Amino acid sequence: MSTPLLHVSHLEKYYQKAHILHDVNFELNTGEVLTLLGPSGSGKSTLLRCLNGLEAYQQGAITFDGQAVTQKPKQWQQLRQQIGMVFQSYDLFPNRNVLENILLGPLKVQKRPRAAVLPEIQQLLKKVGMADYADAYPRQLSGGQKQRIAIVRALALKPKLMLFDEVTASLDPEMVRDVLNIIRQLAASHAMTMLVVTHEMDFAKQISDQVLFLADGQILEQTPGTQFFEQPQTERAQNFLASMDF
């Protein structure tokens, strides 16, 4: 068996005395999609943020692509070029246009030549249906358009792993569909390895190779594919699924 792209073992996270994550263990193979589900406050987003250094963890170990994570700022800076993240609030830089937002990473962080990067970016923009918006400023875009650009901005670094943190939570229903389709496409045609926090259950059901159900910072269920949706084992998970619209 090949080694997993991401290996998390015995992860513990505290905010002062509050115990946020308890003994989190999982693996993610290249090309797989893992979905994190659970009620709000269960630690899903915190777990995701621990995986690219936006939150520190106090115990446990993460191995990414064969490299032990040391939590040193310099190493995170390196790893973040291989671990893309997209946020609920899009957070495009308002003072830079679409192209400048996207180019910042490849040109300034990775120091790649503009001529090499530009065709890739145009290709990506085309794929998300935003080819005509390279010169637009974020204020001129709708929420769904901003989120599509944010996805391209993360993909521009050619990451090996993508983290999606409730990326459709602040979008209108019709825009949700557009953004989810892009993520589906990324999984299907690019075999992108992804960790997804979402409240879109249909989407989660379609896309997941693996589901982690978290409650109170603990993994209560860890199942392959759709099994979680069909046969939730714990009462917490059954209640959670019952409360969700499909």
Partner 1 sequence: MSSWAIIQQSLPLFQKGFFITLKLATLGILGAIVVGIICSLIQYFHLPLLNPLVTIYTEIARNTPLLIQLFFLYYAFPQLGLRLTASQCGVVGLIFLGGSYMAAGFTGGFDGISPSQLEAGQAIGLSRWQLAHYVVLPQGLALSVPALAANIIFLIKETSIFTVIAIPELTNTALDLIGMYYHTNEYLLVLVVAYALILIPLSIILTYLERRVRYGAFGN
Binding site for partner 1 (CB under 8 A): 52-54, 73, 76-78, 80-81, 84-85, 87, 89, 91-96, 104-105, 108-110, 137-140, 150, 153-154, 157
Q: Which residues contact 184 (CB under 8 A, 6 or more apart)?
A: 203, 206, 207
Given its phi and psi angles, is residue 208 left (phi above 0), alpha (psi -120 to 50 degrees) or beta? beta
The residue (of 91 and 132) whose beta carbon lies closer to partner 1 is 91
Shortest distance (Å) from residue 125 CB to partner 1:
17
Task: Beginning with the edge strand found earlier in the chain, give each strand of the sheet holding 193-197 in spatial order.
Answer: 83-86, 161-165, 193-197, 33-37, 210-215, 218-224
Q: Name which of 63 and 89 has its Cβ closer to partner 1.
A: 89
Nearer to partner 1, 49 or 236 (CB): 49
Q: Which residue lies nearer to partner 1 by CB, 87 or 203?
A: 87
Alpha carbons 68 and 62: distance in angstroms, whole number: 6
Could you tell me how far CA 101 lies from the centroid of its own chain? 19
In the complex, what is the shortest distance from the CB of residue 5 to partner 1, in angstroms, rounded to a whole number? Answer: 18
Min CB(230)–partner 1 separation in Å: 35
Distance of CA 3 to the CA centre of its chain: 21
- Least distance to partner 1, CB of residue 110, Å: 8
Closer Cβ to partner 1, 65 or 209, answer by number: 65
Q: CB of residue 101 vs partner 1: minimum separation in angstroms? A: 9
Q: How far is the CB of 200 from partner 1 (least distance, A)?
A: 21
d(CA 201, CA 228): 11
> Smaller CB distance to partner 1: residue 113 or 173?
113
What is the distance between the alpha carbons of residues 34 and 13, in angstroms, rounded to a whole number?
Answer: 20
C-alpha separations of 215 from 46, 47, 239 in Å: 12, 12, 12
